[in-house]
Amino acid sequence: MKATREEADELYQSGEYEAAAAKYDKYIKFEPDDEYALFNRGRALEESGEYDRAYDDFTRLITLRKKWKQALLARGRCSYKLENFKGVIMDMTSLLQADQNNTEALQLRGSSYNKIGEVNKAVDDLDKVITREPDNVKALVSRGAAYARGGAGPYAIEDFDRALRINPNLEVAYFNKGVVFIHHEYWSEAIRNFGKAINIRPKYAEAFTRRGLAKLNSRNHSLKQACADFQKGHELGDENAASGIEEYCK
């Protein structure tokens, strides 16, 4: 089994995650409590997008109290991908009690608080992340989203603009700016920002739908132009586009 473990390690180190996970499967059948094999298989599965299976490996390590901090953080990442945001908060709170300076844990917990609508807690966590890492664009976008959810549009725009100064090709920041401008009925700015998001990511379905909504309300655009965006959003797979087509474009 030593050869299988070494082969799996080599595949993992070279980034061949699916092949590595398959090799680890064989090894772990005979060595079910090998902490390094369990952790590496979990990471390989996480990198391959198999978040459920990865979650199980990290849970096994947490139960064994082996590689506890790393496993807890990794399980939190998987929970976030699986939209188990309360699970993320629980795990990251446990981790932060043991390691209060863990910036990734703060960011994960803050982003999860935002997802469940606890925007003040989200901002508190993300403030700490951004103080330590001023150029952390993911934290800036998450805090901006939290500000937007809490009705603090100008602060949200400030964070999105700050993220865009660091990474001008951050389409999600333009999209989020567009959402804020729609909320405040600044239709032309909404249209402009959704357009920038689409220029960066031409198949950004949700941006087409939201731009269609802004055009629908804008004096400078026709119903035909709005319907063209709804149709494009629908073709690209945004479920919300169908209601716009049904209501305005039949």
What are the domain boundaries of the chain?
Answer: 1-79, 83-168, 170-250
Q: Taking the CB of residue 223, how many other CB atoms lie within 10 A of it?
A: 12
* Residues 104, 80 contacting (CB under 8 angstroms): no
Domain 1-79 has CATH 1.25.40.10: yes
pLDDT in tens, 57-108: 999 999 999 999 999 999 999 999 999 999 999 999 999 999 999 999 999 9
pLDDT of residue 178: 98
What is the pLDDT of the chain when averaged over all its residues? 96
Domain 170-250 has CATH 3.40.309.10: no
Percentage of the chain beyond pLDDT 70 is 99
pLDDT in tens, 149-176: 999 999 999 999 999 999 999 999 999 9
CB-based contacts of 68: which residues, under 8 Å, 6+ apart?
61, 62
Residue 84: phi and psi, rounded to 5, are -95, 70
User: Is the pLDDT score of 3 beyond 90?
Assistant: no
User: Is the pLDDT score of 1 beyond 70?
Assistant: no
pTM assigned to the model = 0.90
**Structure tokens that stand for 57 in this block:** 């490996």
pLDDT of residue 250: 84
Domain 83-168 has CATH 1.25.40.10: yes
